[in-house]
């Protein structure tokens, strides 16, 4: 018996040493992650490679410690064995991520010249990016498999000291899985879409946030963006007004036509009354090809706020075109930067250029100047990537491809702007705005949107979408603002007031139950878009007026944390979307009792 006790004690000490080794090595590896990120963001490939090697050494040591025969035996023991198995999986996953994920990605990073991959007027060697695609794809797969493996572990039987790091590992892998999948898709699609095999033409829609549409703003200015072996050029400038009315109208999805009217297929200005960008893009493509005879390979949408992000990467641009200077009469800035381009395009232009056709021409001309600066290779690669990333996250950059294979990939991501499919989270809500004034007053509307999780009813989740809007236009807006901005009452809205159609989407299979405006129950229109409930109503605000709309969705079957997508406006998205709230259901039950 004494010998058995001594043997058990020795085994216990040995396992404790191994556990300490695993813990120490994984903590050391974790501490290297910030250094690795810094080396990559500061474009120091040698430092990144050295850090990756050190990280891999630590994860390999942790994994070797869990292959010890005694550790393997302990993993098979009842009760405590699950804890040893869980630690083994964490160490194994960490080493797989380091060896099959991080190491190949660092090598890819070292092989790419990011400055030469930015758009320019010269041809870009896209072959390194094409060559990198298999490595990026393999890395993404390795991380995805590791995340799935850890996700299968049942934590109910684990000790807190084991369950806690397991949850942390799960969260870390989940946070990078989506990013790596996106990087894999980008490395696969980008060369083709940038004209590596043949030139590509894209219809460029510049959405004007001063007149709201569900995906951003009215697409007044249009152009054709051409990529030829990485070479960027902007040609074929036009406007939605110049295309005129479609007769007969372009055929659109009957379900969306029922919600948003036949204007979807009649006017280019209204193709994005629907928040579903693939629908808007296919309609815009058909309109462009009918009116111009030019086929395009896809549609790209940007807005002035995104142009300001581009200007941050290329620096200020000079407005030197004689045509633009003649349009402005010297009354608008001749230097546009990230600080003044939004105000210039969405406000000042209407005060100084009274004719809508010339306003559209100025819009397109400014876009030409920005893209010319990009094509001249002036962009700072890091700043440009950050601007594109930020614009995509905010819904200011949208992309649709006429190639079904490419669009299938794009549909997985927010860049595609779809309201259904793999890019939409299970419990996603959407709040979108369509101008009903027929003017450019949305520049003066400030909004906040918030989700409020209500108490469950009959076993189903309930969530209220709260939208608060304020008209910040001056009290004398009717006379102090140009008639083109106020609308002049042409659609029955008094000058200075703003009419907005609010559209709210709930999660799939849910129902929209009630609408309240400023505390009073209100009527609303209820629809279905696919399997998602849609509620619409109209509000009108005089200068200085604020109101709050609350739309409550019930019968929600999803139990995940709700997420929110909104129409990108002039405001920063972080000021529009407020943190989720939750009702105190315990207190409410006691009060009712």
Rounded average pLDDT over 419-426: 91
Burial class (CB in 10 A: 0-12, 13-18, 19+), 458: exposed
Rounded average pLDDT over 487-512: 95
Tokens of 15: 């396992």
Give residue for tokens 């040995």.
14
Task: Please report the pLDDT score of residue 468 as a whole number.
Answer: 98
Read off the pLDDT of residues 111-162 as tens digits, 9 standing for 90 and up: 665 555 566 555 666 666 667 777 777 777 777 787 777 777 777 766 677 6
Task: Please report the pLDDT score of residue 114 as a whole number.
Answer: 57
Highest CATH level, class, for 200-401? alpha beta
Sheet holding 563-566, edge to edge: 525-529, 532-541, 498-505, 428-435, 563-566
Task: Please report the pLDDT score of residue 8 as a whole number.
Answer: 56
Task: Please report the pLDDT score of residue 253 as a whole number.
Answer: 94
Of the pLDDT bands very low, low, confident and very high (cuts 50, 70, 90), residue 218 is very high
Q: How far apart (Å, rounded) are the C-alpha atoms in residues 271 and 273? A: 6
The larger pLDDT score, comparing residue 462 to residue 136, is at: 462
Q: At what angle do helices 45-65 and 2-41 cross, to 10 degrees?
A: 170
Average pLDDT, the chain: 86
Sign of CA dihedral 215, 216, 222, 223: negative
Q: What stretches of 42-102 show up as alpha helix (H) in DSSP?
A: 45-65, 69-75, 81-96
Phi (first) and psi of residue 293, to 5 degrees: 80, 0
Strands (E), 168-245: 200-208, 218-228, 231-239
Distance between first and last Cα of the chain:
63
Give, for 177, the enclosing helix (H) or strand (E). helix 160-193
Task: Please report the pLDDT score of residue 325 as a whole number.
Answer: 87
Read off the pLDDT of residues 355-405 as tens digits, 9 standing for 90 and up: 888 888 888 888 888 888 888 777 887 788 888 889 999 999 999 999 999
Sheet holding 298-302, edge to edge: 231-239, 218-228, 200-208, 298-302, 398-401
Which residues in the chain are classed under CATH 3.40.630?
200-401
> 544 to each of 251, 381, 466, 469, 473, how far by Cα in Å?
41, 42, 19, 10, 7
User: Which of 235-239, 254-258, 360-364 has maximum average pLDDT?
Assistant: 254-258
Task: Please report the pLDDT score of residue 115 as a whole number.
Answer: 56
Read off the pLDDT of residues 423-460 as tens digits, 9 standing for 90 and up: 898 999 999 999 999 999 999 999 999 999 999 888 88
Q: How far apart (Å, rounded) are the C-alpha atoms in residues 322 and 236? A: 18
Q: How far apart (Å, rounded) are the C-alpha atoms in residues 87 and 166? A: 8
Evaluate whether 217 touches 210 at the Cβ level (below 8 Å).
yes
pLDDT of 273 strictly over 60: yes
CB atoms within 10 A of CB 126: 20
């Amino acid at each position: 018996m004494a010998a058995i006790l001594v043997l058990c004690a020795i085994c216990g000490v040995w396992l404790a040493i191994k556990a300490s080794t695993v813990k120490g090595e994984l903590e050391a590896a974790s501490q290297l992650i910030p250094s690795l990120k810094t080396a990559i963001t500061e474009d120091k490939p040698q430092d990144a490679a050295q850090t990756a090697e050190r990280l891999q050494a630590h994860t390999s040591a942790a994994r070797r410690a869990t292959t010890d025969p005694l550790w393997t035996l302990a993993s098979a023991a009842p009760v405590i064995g699950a804890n040893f198995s869980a630690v083994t999986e964490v160490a194994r996953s960490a080493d797989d991520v380091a060896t099959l994920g991080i190491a190949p990605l660092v090598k890819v990073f070292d092989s790419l010249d990011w400055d030469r991959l930015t758009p320019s007027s010269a041809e870009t060697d896209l072959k390194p990016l094409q060559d990198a695609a298999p490595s990026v794809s393999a890395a993404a797969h390795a991380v995805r498999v590791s995340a799935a493996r850890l996700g299968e572990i049942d934590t109910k039987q684990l000790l807190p000291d084991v369950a806690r790091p397991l949850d942390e590992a799960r969260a870390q892998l989940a946070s990078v899985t989506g990013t790596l999948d996106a990087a894999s898709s980008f490395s696969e699609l980008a060369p083709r879409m940038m004209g590596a095999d043949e030139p590509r033409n894209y219809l460029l829609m510049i959405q004007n946030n001063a007149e709201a549409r569900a995906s951003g703003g009215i697409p007044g200015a249009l152009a054709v963006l051409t990529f030829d072996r990485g070479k960027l050029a902007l040609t074929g400038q036009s406007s939605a007004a110049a295309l005129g009315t479609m007769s007969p109208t372009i055929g659109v999805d009957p379900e969306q036509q029922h919600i948003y009217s036949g204007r979807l297929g009649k006017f280019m200005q209204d193709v994005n009354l629907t928040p579903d960008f693939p629908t808007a893009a296919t309609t815009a493509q058909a309109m462009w090809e009918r009116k111009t005879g030019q086929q395009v390979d896809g549609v790209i949408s940007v807005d002035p706020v995104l142009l300001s992000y581009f200007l941050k990467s290329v620096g200020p641009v000079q407005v030197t075109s004689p045509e633009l200077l003649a349009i402005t009469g010297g009354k608008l800035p001749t230097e546009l930067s990230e600080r003044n381009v939004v105000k210039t395009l969405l406000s000042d232009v209407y005060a100084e250029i009274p004719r809508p056709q010339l306003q559209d021409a100025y819009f397109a001309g400014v876009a030409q100047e920005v893209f010319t600066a990009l094509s001249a290779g002036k962009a700072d690669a890091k700043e440009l990537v950050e601007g594109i990333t930020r614009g995509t996250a905010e819904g200011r950059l949208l992309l649709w491809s006429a190639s079904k294979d490419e669009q299938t990939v794009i549909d997985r991501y927010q860049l595609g702007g779809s309201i259904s499919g793999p890019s939409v989270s299970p419990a996603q809500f959407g709040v979108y705005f369509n101008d009903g004034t027929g003017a450019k007053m949305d520049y003066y509307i400030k909004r906040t949107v918030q989700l409020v999780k209500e108490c469950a009813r009959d076993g189903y989740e309930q969530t209220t979408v709260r939208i608060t809007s304020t008209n910040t236009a001056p009290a004398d807006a009717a006379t102090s603002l140009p008639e083109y901005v106020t609308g002049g009452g042409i659609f029955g809205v008094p000058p200075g007031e703003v009419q907005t159609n609010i559209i709210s989407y709930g999660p799939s299979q849910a129902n929209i139950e009630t609408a309240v405006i400023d505390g009073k129950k209100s009527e609303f229109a209820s629809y279905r878009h696919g399997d998602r409930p849609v509620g619409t109503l109209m509000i009108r605000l005089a200068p200085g007026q604020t109101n709050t709309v609350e739309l409550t969705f019930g019968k929600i079957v999803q139990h995940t944390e709700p997420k929110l997508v909104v129409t990108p406006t002039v405001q920063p998205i972080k000021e529009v979307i407020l943190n989720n709230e939750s009702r105190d259901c315990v207190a409410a039950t006691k009060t009712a009792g």
